Amino acid sequence: MTAEPGKSSTFRVGLIQTRSGELPAANLETVVKLIGEAKAGGASYVQTPEMTNIMVASRDKLLAAVVPEENDPSLATFRELARKLGVYLHIGSLAVKATADKAANRSFLIDPHGEVAARYDKIHMFDVDLANGESYRESRSYKPGDLAVLHDLPWGRLGMTICYDLRFPSLYRALGEAGASFLAIPSAFTRQTGEAHWHVLNRARAIENGCYVMAAAQGGRHENGRETFGHSLVADPWGRIVAEGGTEPGVVFAEIDPAEVAKARSRVPSLQHGRRFEVVEPLAEPTHLRAVRGPA
């Protein structure tokens, strides 16, 4: 059962900010240490960024390094660590082998017993050419998911997303309408796009849905030469940033009060006011219009 917003107690979140390189074993060592710091700081829910296990530009290097989920040593270590520490450990994403020629960008929510409680494969692929010359083609290396995923935590319902999903508000609306009180957005935003849009998009998703946003991020210049924005953050349901990091690896802590979800939604109950609609497009003749069915 989902804990009703406002009925459950507060809890402490620990967001892990890291700077993944090309070697999964080295990345694992760093993240395990930071997760321990998060637990020592009182966190009962710990989230790591997108691409926790590897950050590599080469498709060939990626496919040579990753293995299927059931054989992934990082996941096995994280499951044991969650059990040992007694925390909900949300691994923002791992690159795992999905097919012979594609990986999955997969998020894992691990419960305090060390069991994988939920999985989410990133739906939206980051295929862009940036003004500074950087080019990204996630769809060449990753198989996209097609399922939105929620899971009930002791404090409320969690909606799971990853990075570029942040730019698709309909996904978050669907999660909010399905009862999410918390939106997880583990990320590896580029420095360029992060400087322009990271804060406003996270705040917007919180405001639109009356949800907490919890977004652990990669930060700094990586081994492969690319830069990520960092600034792991928590935004409350009114859109206020209540905790934020910089660009260096570390842990960002925040106190989460589920009662704030109910409070924000009572002030602006927009989740209750959504209506189906049609989009009217012009035909070649400007005096005639035709109706096109809008999103369900």
Range(s) of the domain holding residue 88: 11-269
Domain membership flag for residue 195:
yes
Domain membership flag for residue 280:
no
Domain membership flag for residue 128:
yes
CATH number at residue 121: 3.60.110.10
| Number of compact structural domains in the chain | 1
Residue 271 φ then ψ, to 5°: -60, -25
The model's pLDDT over 30-87, given as tens digits with 9 standing for 90+, comes to: 999 999 999 999 999 999 999 999 999 889 999 999 999 999 999 999 999 999 999 9
CA dist 70 to 17, 22, 31, 47, 116, Å? 26, 21, 20, 21, 11
Alpha helices in the chain (DSSP H): 24-40, 59-65, 73-85, 138-141, 169-177, 191-209, 259-267
Domain membership flag for residue 282:
no
Three-state secondary-structure class, residue 183: strand
> What whole-number distance in Å separates Cα of residue 274 and Cα of residue 111?
34
Domain membership flag for residue 292:
no
> What whole-number distance in Å separates Cα of residue 156 and Cα of residue 11?
11
The model's pLDDT over 120-176, given as tens digits with 9 standing for 90+, comes to: 999 999 887 877 767 778 989 999 999 999 999 999 999 999 999 999 999 999 999
pTM of the model: 0.91
- Catalytic residue annotation: 50, 122, 163
Domain membership flag for residue 125:
yes
